Structure 1
């Protein structure tokens, strides 16, 4: 069984993900159908950012995965040279 700190961290991450999903879904799906003068619009960034922010996040994620893969392969190659 996982320690209580791991469970609390996991619960926090699930809650954060659910909140982020709800915010982004409302921003992208609901707001285009509301008038531009609606009060809900003041809680969200302009629509252009709904494409820019996930695009930047995807590039950063791909960079991190590529860097991690490169580091693991480089370390594995160095270990094989020593043996």
Structure 2
């Protein structure tokens, strides 16, 4: 199996596991008795909102940083082209 297919399969497995964990955490756990052993596998429920918000914030900062970096490099290239044209 090619490395890219293996990496894709691993990413799909991780995404599926996270989706299943979060779905059980948010939609099933509120109906389970608090003394049940299932509760020991999950974080407190208030993190169900805090963690996705934090991940979304980090992803937004990453995308903004990437776009800013691309725009700065593009401006530097155009500036270099203009300086070469004027010579």
Where on the TM-score scale, by shorter chain, does this alignment land: which range?
over 0.9
What corresponds to 2:8 in structure 1? 10
What CA distance in whole angstroms lies between the structure 2 residues aligned with 1:82 and 1:45? Answer: 53
CA deviation after TM superposition for structure 1 residue 6, in Å: 0.5
Shift of 1:16: 0.4
Tell me, in whole angstroms, the C-alpha distance in 2 between the residues paired with 1:74 and 1:52: 33
Work out the CA distance in 2 between the residues paired with 1:38 and 1:12.
31
The residue aligned with 1:71 is: 69
Q: How does 1:40-55 map to 2 (within 5 A)?
A: 40-55=38-53
* TM-score w.r.t. length of structure 2: 0.90
Task: Tell me the distance in 1 between the aligned counterparts of 2:26 and 2:33.
Answer: 14
Structure with higher Rg: it is: 2
Q: Which runs of structure 1 show a deviation greater than 6 angstroms over 4 or more consecutive aligned residues?
A: none
Q: How big is the shift at 1:38?
A: 1.2
TM-score, normalised relative to structure 1: 0.94
